[in-house]
Amino acid sequence: MILFSHLEQPNSGKSSLHVFVLSYLILLVLLLFPIPHDSCSPSERDSLLQFRSNLTFSFNNSRLSSWVTIDDCCKWEGISCDGNGLVTEISLPIKGLGGSLSSSLAGLSHLTQLNLSYNQLTGNLPTEILLYPSLFVLDVSFNSLSGKLSMSPLGNFSLQVLNLSSNSFTGPFPSLGSLAGFLTAINASNNGFFGLFPSSICGLSPLLSTMDLSHNQFSLDIPPD
Ligand SMILES: *[C@@H]1O[C@H](CO)[C@@H](O)[C@H](O)[C@H]1NC(C)=O
Ligand SMILES: *[C@@H]1O[C@H](CO)[C@@H](O)[C@H](O)[C@H]1NC(C)=O
Ligand SMILES: *[C@@H]1O[C@H](CO)[C@@H](O)[C@H](O)[C@H]1NC(C)=O
Ligand SMILES: *[C@@H]1O[C@H](CO)[C@@H](O)[C@H](O)[C@H]1NC(C)=O
Ligand SMILES: *[C@@H]1O[C@H](CO)[C@@H](O)[C@H](O)[C@H]1NC(C)=O
Ligand SMILES: *[C@@H]1O[C@H](CO)[C@@H](O)[C@H](O)[C@H]1NC(C)=O
* Cβ of 104 below 6 Å from ligand 2: no
What per-residue confidence (pLDDT) applies to 62?
Answer: 76
Determine the 3-state secondary structure of 52 from DSSP: helix
What per-residue confidence (pLDDT) applies to 24?
Answer: 62
Q: What is the pLDDT along the chain (225 residues), one digit of tens a residue?
A: 444 444 445 555 566 667 666 666 655 555 555 444 568 889 999 999 999 999 999 876 678 999 999 999 999 999 999 989 999 999 999 999 999 999 999 889 899 999 999 999 999 998 888 777 788 899 999 999 999 987 655 445 788 999 999 999 999 988 776 567 788 999 999 999 999 888 778 777 888 899 999 999 998 676 666
What per-residue confidence (pLDDT) applies to 193?
Answer: 95
What per-residue confidence (pLDDT) applies to 182?
Answer: 86
Strand residues in 116-159 grouped as ranges (E)? 137-139, 146-148
CB 217 within 8 A of CB 194: yes
Which ligand gives the minimal distance to the CA of 63?
Answer: 1
What per-residue confidence (pLDDT) applies to 156?
Answer: 56
What per-residue confidence (pLDDT) applies to 2?
Answer: 45
pTM: 0.81
Domains with residue ranges and CATH for the chain? 42-220 (3.80.10.10)
Q: Give the residue, by CA position, lying nearest to ligand 2 atom 1.
A: 54
Strand residues in the chain grouped as ranges (E)? 55-57, 79-81, 87-91, 97-99, 113-115, 137-139, 146-148, 161-163, 168-171, 185-187, 192-195, 210-212, 217-218
Distance between CA atoms of residues 77 and 54, nearest Å: 17
DSSP state of 179: G
Residue 210's Cβ-count burial label (10 Å; 0-12, 13-18, 19+) is: exposed
Distance between CA atoms of residues 125 and 103, nearest Å: 8
CA of 211 to the centre of ligand 4 (A): 28
What per-residue confidence (pLDDT) applies to 199?
Answer: 79
What per-residue confidence (pLDDT) applies to 17?
Answer: 63
Give start and end residues of each alpha helix (H) in the chain: 2-7, 13-32, 42-53, 66-69, 127-130, 200-204
Which ligand gives the minimal distance to the CA of 125?
Answer: 2
How far CA 89 is from CA of 77, 78, 86, 188, in Å, comes to 11, 8, 9, 22
CA of 60 to the centre of ligand 1 (A): 6
CA of 93 to the centre of ligand 3 (A): 7
